[in-house]
Amino acid sequence: MAKRVILAGIVGGVALFFWLSIAHIFTGLAATGIRELPNEPAVLNAFQTYIQEPGLYLFPGTGLGPNATREQQQAAMQEMQKKADTGPSGILVIRPKGGGGLTPFRLIHEFILNVVQALLLAILLAWAGNLGGYASRVAFVAVAGFFGTCCTNIQYWNWYSFPTNYTIAYMFTDFVGFLFVGLIAAALIRGKTASAHA
C-alpha cells in the first residue's frame, strides 16, 4: 500500500503541476481579477524611494513601535480603523530591489509543493479505508482538496478584499487540479475490502 501511496503522490503531483501550468499559461485564469498599476513608473519610483525592505505590508498602519502600551495599541487601532473606513487600505507584497518574476527555482518549488499536496491527499485516501467505488474515492480526494483551497482563498477574500472573480478563478483552478489528483489516487489506492477482492 505504501508504494501505491507514494506513486499516487508523485504521479498526482506531476498531473497537478501540468494542469496548473496549463491553467496559468493558456486559459487566462491566473490573470482574473488582477489589474496593472496606473501611472506605474511614478508608483514604482515611490516604492523604491520609501520602501527599502522586502515584505508584506498592511496599510493604514498603527504607527506604533514594538514597546507600545495596551492603551496606546487600543487608541492606535481605533485611529487605524477610521483611516481604513475613509481612505485607501490594503496589503502590499513587494521586493523593492528585484528578485520577482518566473524563475526556475520558483517552478521547482511549485513542483515540489504539488507533489507534497498530492502525497498528502493520497495518504488521507489510504487512511480513509474502504470508501466503496472508484467515484467515491475520487470525490473524497476532490472534497479534501476543495477544503484546502477554501482555507486561504475565502479568508483572503473576506479579510483583505481579494477580488471575488480572482478568488473564484483560483479556487476553480485548484479544485480541478485536485480532481485530477483524485482520479489518479483513486485508481491506485483502494480500500482493504476492495483490495482483498481485487
C-beta of residue 118 within 8 angstroms of C-beta of residue 12 = yes
Domain locations in the chain as residue ranges:
2-36+101-197, 55-94
Q: Read off the pTM.
A: 0.83
Task: Please tell me the distance from the alpha carbon of residue 131 to that of residue 139, in angstroms, as a whole number.
Answer: 10
Closest CA to 182 of 112, 120, 122: 122
Task: Please tell me the distance from the alpha carbon of residue 75 to that of residue 72, in angstroms, as a whole number.
Answer: 5
Query: pLDDT digit of tens for each residue in the chain (198 aa)?
Result: 789 999 999 999 999 999 999 999 999 898 999 999 999 999 999 988 999 999 999 989 888 888 889 898 999 999 999 999 998 999 999 988 877 778 889 999 999 999 999 999 999 999 998 888 999 999 999 999 999 999 989 999 999 999 999 999 999 999 999 999 999 999 999 865 434 333
Q: Which amino acid is at 193?
A: T
- SS3 label, residue 167: helix
Find the radius of gyration of the CA atoms of the chain: 22
